[in-house]
Each structure stands twice: as C-alpha cells, then as structure tokens.
C-alpha cells in the first residue's frame, strides 16, 4: 500500500458519540410491544453489552484512529510537533487538517491556560523565548506568553476555502517563525516563508514548492516535505536542494540532528521504518548522478564524497552499524531495527543530541557513537495501546499521549516515564500536540492550550 493511502485512511476513528447507538435504542422501543418480556430482557442485555464494547473500543487508539482529544499534528496534524531540534524548536508536522479537526471537539477536564484568540481549534504547539506558538485553525499562527497572557494572531493566511489546510507546519528560532504555505486557491503562493516572532513584518518567501507540508529547522538549515520529496533550503533562502525522492508524505514528521535529517517512511512497504539522509547531499538524478555533478566513490559516515564534481548520495553513509542498513547509492539509510505496527512515531525534538522514536511497543534511540539504534524502554504491550501521534523527550524523561485499553480497563491519558521508573499518567487530558519548558508541558486541546506540570 502506498504511504499516502494508509496515512489518509488513519484519520478515521471511532467516535464515542456514534449516532448508531440512538438508533438502536429507538429500534428497541419500537419493537417492545411485539416480543415477550423474556425476549426483551435478553435483547436489552445484548444491546447494552454491545454498546459497552463499542464504547471501550472508541476510547482505545490501538487501531488506526486518533487518540481521544485529537490527532496530531504532524498533522498532524500532521504532524504537529513540539519544539524541535534547533535552539528553540523546530519541527512541526504538517497536517493540521484531520487531526486538528479532531482536536476541535476534544473535551477538557480543566480550564485551558489560554484560549485561541479567534476561537479556532489549536494544534502543533511550540515554546520559545517565553512564548507559546500554535496553529489556529487551518490558516493562522497564534502566540501567547507562557503564563497565558497576551494571546494574539501573528499571521493570518488569505484563506479562500475553510476546509483547506493553508498553513502546514512551522518551526522557530530566536528571531523568526518559519512556516509552510500549503496554498489555497493560488498555487503560486505555495512554499516556505519566514516572519518575525511577533508578526511585526510581512512574510518573506524563502523557497517555492508544489505541495509542501512538514518542516524542520536546525541552525541555518530548513528541511521540508514537498509532495513525496524531501528538500532543503537555508534560512536566508537561495538554492533549494532535493535530498530524497518518492519517500515522504503530507503527514511525515522530520527532525534534524548532527548533519542528518531523520524521517519515517514505508518506502513502498506496508509498515514504516526510520531513515536518515545527510544534509547537503542531493538526491541522484535518473542517471544516478548527484545534482550539479556526478558522484564517484563511496561516501563516508558524514555522507561526503571525494568524487570530483559533487557529493555522493550514498545511503546517508556507506556503511551502517548494527542499528542501520544501507542498500546502495541514492537510498536513505534505514536506522530502525524494528518496524512500526503501521507507522513510526518520531519525536520531533532531539534530547541531549539524540533522536528518539517509537516503533511497535518500545521507544528507541539512535547513537552516533555506536552507529546503532537501541531500545530504551518498552512503554506498552499488545493489550495496551502505545503512544499515538505525540512523543516528546525532555532531559531523559519521555512524555506521550496514549490511548486507553478495553482489555485492561484503562482510559486515554497523558503519560510520563523516566527509565528505569515505571510510566505514570500525569493528566486525563489527551492533547493533540505537546511542547515543554523547564517546569511544564503545554498541550493543544480543543480551542485552547492547557498546562500540565512536568
């Protein structure tokens, strides 16, 4: 199955408010006079048992549905992502559509720290320099101080279709917001832009794109998805480099670390793995040559090549250690050793220089020193739904939103775990995205931002 197909399908989820339940009750009432009392008792018990089972399934995200309280955002809502790998943050998944819409109706068990100034659903929260930033609806960027004061819209896209995602992901540094204009009515506006953190200047365009969505930032380098391709541009604009072709989708999350961009992909398979590609190394052309010149020789661990005329696009490094594999020139290096059950959940923020992700029921870590991936901790089991759409690592502690388990009688919640300690539920809220500072987690729930003590 092509990655775009199943990614689109996973936006479907069971709803606790399934209208079918009311229809069942009406049908039961209408037929009450035509059956015996004994039959009524049996039928009523059967229906109640069925509703109890449906309710349990609705609260579990062990399947392909979103967690209660919203989907993520890399969209993702799509991607949505917490603060990223840069000094202040970087990667926000894109798809704010299906996930963000789910977030809009999410219940909150406590008042939000701040409500969206336009009443829009919130997604993709990040924190930088004492302010929170988030996507407001599908076409606005908003911010507020971390104490909840001063909420305002810092940029509003001239959206023409309310059902279109006009702004995809965004990333932050000390001075600017870098965001994806996914286009709405005018394909010529699509691309990567930057604007001052306070929205005091007009956006300036850094790169054109055809179908952009996800974005990540590290230092002076931006990476972004454009349809099924992965591209790179400097924060000052200029030449756009295509790094990888036919490997990503509109929900793909990205993170940059130590000269590589990391991304989950199924690469034509049925389940995702985690891959990486060296920054600055162009994807080979159809003639298997790097952009701007042919590549000769094998690449070193940093992806560079001594071949005259350009860099080699060898799989992120010619030799992969125990935690990775290389399948030849032009192929991204697979670093995961365990595939996701359907997807790999990438933490869009590095922690102490390491990249973390979830596959199957465990969180894994990539070590540059060992040139290998290793399992850090098992956070779920076949009977207990693993983290969905939100994974954050901060100072050695993992935070995630997990679905409930009908089998175990547990409900969806926000969890934390610092290995080797056991995981614990820290909030009944289920945000669609998370960000963190020294004291708190900040999450998007419905039309507001909630604050959860770490």
237-291: pLDDT as tens digits: 999 999 999 999 988 999 999 999 999 999 867 788 999 999 999 998 753 433 3
DSSP SS3 for 421 = coil
284-311: pLDDT as tens digits: 875 343 333 333 333 333 333 333 333 3
Q: CA–CA separation, 93 vs 434, rounded Å?
A: 12
Q: CA–CA separation, 383 vs 373, rounded Å?
A: 25
Burial (0-12, 13-18, 19+ Cβ within 10 Å), 270? exposed
CB atoms within 10 A of CB 306: 12
DSSP SS3 for 423 = coil
Beta pairing, strands 255-257 & 241-244: unpaired
C-alpha angle with apex 131: 129 to 415, nearest 5 degrees? 100
Pick 206 or 54 by higher pLDDT: 206
173-188: pLDDT as tens digits: 999 999 999 877 678 8
C-alpha angle with apex 139: 239 to 230, nearest 5 degrees? 30
pLDDT at 343 over 50: yes
29-44: pLDDT as tens digits: 332 333 333 333 334 4
Pick 141 or 322 by higher pLDDT: 141
Selection from 149, 103, 171, 44 nearest residue 435 by Cα: 171
CB atoms within 10 A of CB 241: 19
Which sign, positive or negative, has the C-alpha torsion 177, 178, 180, 185? Answer: positive
Model confidence at 101, in pLDDT bands (50, 70, 90)?
very low
DSSP SS3 for 189 = helix
Q: CA–CA separation, 430 vs 65, rounded Å?
A: 14
DSSP SS3 for 178 = strand
pLDDT computed for residue 369 by the predictor: 83
Burial (0-12, 13-18, 19+ Cβ within 10 Å), 5? exposed
| Residue 40 DSSP one-character state | H
Selection from 86, 61, 84 nearest residue 11 by Cα: 61
Residue 23 makes CB contacts below 8 A (sequence gap 6+) with: none
* Cβ–Cβ under 8 Å, residues 265 and 253: no
pLDDT computed for residue 99 by the predictor: 34
118-129: pLDDT as tens digits: 999 999 999 999
Give this prediction's pTM: 0.72
Instruction: Count the helix, strand and coil residues of the chain and give each as a percent rounded to the nearest 5.
Output: 15, 35, 50
pLDDT at 155 over 90: yes
pLDDT computed for residue 342 by the predictor: 72
Average pLDDT of the residues in 192-214: 95
pLDDT computed for residue 177 by the predictor: 97
Whole-number average pLDDT of the chain: 73
| Displacement of CA 58 from its chain's centroid (Å) | 22
* Cβ–Cβ under 8 Å, residues 81 and 96: no
């Amino acid at each position: 199955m092509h990655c775009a197909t199943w990614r689109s399908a996973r936006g479907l989820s069971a709803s606790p408010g399934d209208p079918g339940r009311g229809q069942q009750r009406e049908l039961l009432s209408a037929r009450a006079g035509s059956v015996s009392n004994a039959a009524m008792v049996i039928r009523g018990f059967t229906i109640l048992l069925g509703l109890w089972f449906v309710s349990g399934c609705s609260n579990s995200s062990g399947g392909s549905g979103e967690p209660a309280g919203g989907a993520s955002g890399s969209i993702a809502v799509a991607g949505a992502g917490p603060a990223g790998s840069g000094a202040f943050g970087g990667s926000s998944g894109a798809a704010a559509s299906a996930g963000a819409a789910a977030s809009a109706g999410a219940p909150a068990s406590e008042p939000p720290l701040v409500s969206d100034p336009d009443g829009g659903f919130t997604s993709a929260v990040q924190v930088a320099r004492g302010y929170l930033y988030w996507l407001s609806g599908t076409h606005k960027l908003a911010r507020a101080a971390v104490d909840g004061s001063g909420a305002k819209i810092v940029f509003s896209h001239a959206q023409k279709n309310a059902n279109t995602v006009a702004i995809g992901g965004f990333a932050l540094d000390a001075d600017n917001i870098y965001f994806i204009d996914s286009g709405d009515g005018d394909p010529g506006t699509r691309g990567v832009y930057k604007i001052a953190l306070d929205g005091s200047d007009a956006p300036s365009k850094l790169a054109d794109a055809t179908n952009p969505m996800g974005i990540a930032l590290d230092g002076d380098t931006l990476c972004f998805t454009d349809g099924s391709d992965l591209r790179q541009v400097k924060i000052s604009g200029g030449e756009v480099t295509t790094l990888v072709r036919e490997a990503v989708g509109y929900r793909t999350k990205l993170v940059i670390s130590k000269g590589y961009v990391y991304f989950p992909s199924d690469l034509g398979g049925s389940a995702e793995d985690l891959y990486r590609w060296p920054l600055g190394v162009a994807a080979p052309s159809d003639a298997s040559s790097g952009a701007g010149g042919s590549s000769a020789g094998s690449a070193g661990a940093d992806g560079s090549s001594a071949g005259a005329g350009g860099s080699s696009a060898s799989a992120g490094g010619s030799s992969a250690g125990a935690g990775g594999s290389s399948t030849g020139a032009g192929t991204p290096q697979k670093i995961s050793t365990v595939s996701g059950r359907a997807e790999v959940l990438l933490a869009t923020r590095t922690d102490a220089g390491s990249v973390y992700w979830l596959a199957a029921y465990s969180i894994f870590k990539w070590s540059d020193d060992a040139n290998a991936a290793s399992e850090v901790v098992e956070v779920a089991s076949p009977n207990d739904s693993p983290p969905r759409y939100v994974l954050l690592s901060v100072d050695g502690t993992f935070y995630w939103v997990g679905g409930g388990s009908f089998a175990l009688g547990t409900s969806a919640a926000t969890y934390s775990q610092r290995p080797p300690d056991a995981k614990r539920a820290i909030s009944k809220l289920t945000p669609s995205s998370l960000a963190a500072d020294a004291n708190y987690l900040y999450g998007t729930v419905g039309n507001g931002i909630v604050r959860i003590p770490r």
